[in-house]
Amino acid sequence: MNIFKLAFFSLLLLPACVFSQTRLLDNACNSIDSKVSNTNMIACYRETLAKQRLDYRFVSNQAYPREYRYLLNDIVPARYAIDPSKPPVQINRYQMLSQHWSPDGLVTPGQWHHDVNIYIPKNARGTRALIAVDLSEKMMAEIAQSTNTIVVSLDNIPAIGLEYQHDGISRVEDDSIARSWQLTMQSPQNRALLPLHVPMAEAISQTIRLAKKELRPWHIDKFIVTGASKRGWATWLAGISDPSVEAIVPFVADALNTQDIVKHMYRVYGGNWPIAFKPYYDNQIDLKLGTPAFEQLMKIEDPLQYLATDARSRLAIPKYIINASGDDFFPPDDTRYYFDPLPGEKSLRIVPNSDHLGIVNVMQQSLVAFINRLQDSRPLPTVTVTNSANSDVDRQVSFSEKPVKVLQWTATNPDSRDFRYACGIRYASTRLTPSPQNTVNLSLDYAGAGWQARFIEATFADGYVATSQVYITPDAKYPVTAPLSAGKTCQTLPGRNS
């Protein structure tokens, strides 16, 4: 048989192979039974994929920021030893097929393809690397340079243009996630792999497999994982399910204890929904809150649910949680529902005067500071808030190490409990001087109209920034009407009953 006939028959067999793999994964992990529960579904999926050959190839190498230098043989994955003659950052480029994902044949296309780039600085440290989901090449190269840490980036998470139930609608981002949730809740016992964050988390784990193979000269076996928004959510789930993940830095993924946070969101907007919630509203996710189907879904999706499982120890890995003060989705005080119960080393940063997308402005600086601390085995700084014994409105804020700068950030909305940046809310700062014991006072006293938000921000000598949680005054009071609309991104959707 000549090569052309062989190639032809290979193409004929490919759909059957894809279907067979999808059915294998469905049978292994997709149904809830006595062996596989909701909360170990993602780990089951990872372990099943790990038994299969990893499908990837080397494409090129590049000296950042110079032009590409292609190898003659671009099929065999290349492995590089540390070479002092190479430029400050070398980029090795790969293409990877992470998985064939179509539970019950409901999703097309089933193949998830990714570009995976490995950024190797001149004096790269061994042991650990950063896995970054969908971040810019410039940022990745500069993080590698600043930390002497190998950085691995991957794109196309979630896969774009997914069609569900052959409905002819190509979905991306939150539209795709919301549709996957809707279909999961129609048959939660049999569609446990269908929530879109599941394959997103496993694409991260597949990238870890690739990185381990390609970075053997550096003995890399531990990984810091980072991503923003839904990729930040996948970061949480990858950290829970993959023991190779040593630490996480999720940005604007303020969704732990999901059901309580979504209910809080509804109350904050006076029994309405922020316009950013529209994909979930369109798929009637709001009408499923409190139902058994939603609770089954959250046993897979909600990272905080894993506290009550054997995976609890995975939530204790070091974590730097970074949220926006004016997020389009999440009220600024959402951390009240999950931060304190989280075990292990943790640090919080609320970014003042930022919306959901604006968080990109602090990503590089935040990651560099966190990675350097981890590489140097230095503990994360903590900000602890305690109630005053003499006053209901005063708090004492203490720092685990001496800060070089402390700011109190304050924002006021005289009309509603809406602190979205898109709605014109801005925080103002006041410089505070810590005591010799590294403490400052925070007053929550407010007698004006509407609501006021406050938090404390501390900057440390190495540039690491940590904050307190956000405190809203009056806290027990919620509006009964929708906030005022002002422009396309400052709107709400009406509440409704099932």
> How high does pLDDT run on average in the chain?
90
Candidates 154, 320, 167, 164; CA nearest to 236 is: 320
pLDDT > 90? residue 442: yes
Model pTM above 0.85: yes
What's the CA gap between 246 and 122, in Å, rounded?
23
Integer Cα distance of 145 and 468 in angstroms: 30
Of the chain, the percentage scoring pLDDT greater than 90 comes to 83
Q: Provide mean pLDDT across the span 132-145.
A: 94
- Among the ranges given (390-394, 402-406, 412-416, 424-428), the one the predictor scored with the smallest mean pLDDT: 390-394
Q: What would the two tokens of residue 207 be?
A: 């990238």
Mean pLDDT of all residues in 233-261: 98
Does 70 or 490 have the greater pLDDT score? 490
SS3 of residue 410 by DSSP: strand
Check whether 7 has a pLDDT greater than 90. no
Q: Which CATH superfamily is domain 3-380 in?
A: Alpha/Beta hydrolase fold, catalytic domain (3.40.50.1820)
What's the mean pLDDT in 15-38? 49
The arithmetic mean of pLDDT across residues 335-351, rounded, is 98
* pLDDT of 18 higher than 70: no
Beta-bridge mates of residue 37: none
Res 370 pLDDT > 80:
yes
Output the pLDDT for position 445: 95
Bridge-partner residues for 60, per DSSP? 93
User: Per-residue confidence at 81, pLDDT binned at 50, 70, 90?
Assistant: very low
- pLDDT for position 390: 80
**485 CB-near residues (< 8 Å, 6+ apart):** 491, 492
Q: What is the pLDDT of residue 272?
A: 97
Q: Which residue has the higher pLDDT, 47 or 1?
A: 47
Looking at residue 87, its pLDDT comes to: 53
* Residue 14 in this model has a pLDDT that exceeds 70: no
Is the per-residue pLDDT at 13 higher than 90? no
Q: Say if residue 242's pLDDT is above 90.
A: yes
Give yes or no for residue 68 having a pLDDT over 50. no
Residue 86 pLDDT exceeds 50: no
Confidence of residue 64 (pLDDT cuts 50, 70, 90): confident
Percentage of the chain with pLDDT > 70? 88
Mean pLDDT highest for which of 32-36, 40-44, 185-189, 221-225?
A: 221-225
CATH code given to domain 385-494: 2.60.40
Asked if the model's pLDDT at residue 145 lies above 50, the reply is: yes
The pLDDT value recorded for residue 11 is 36
405: which 2 tokens?
């700068």
Q: How confident is the model at residue 26 (pLDDT cuts 50, 70, 90)?
A: low
Taking residues 140-165, report their average pLDDT: 96
Q: Which helix (H) or strand (E) holds 298?
A: helix 292-301
- Structure tokens belonging to residue 206: 């597949």
Where do the CATH 3.40.50.1820 domains begin and end in the chain? 3-380
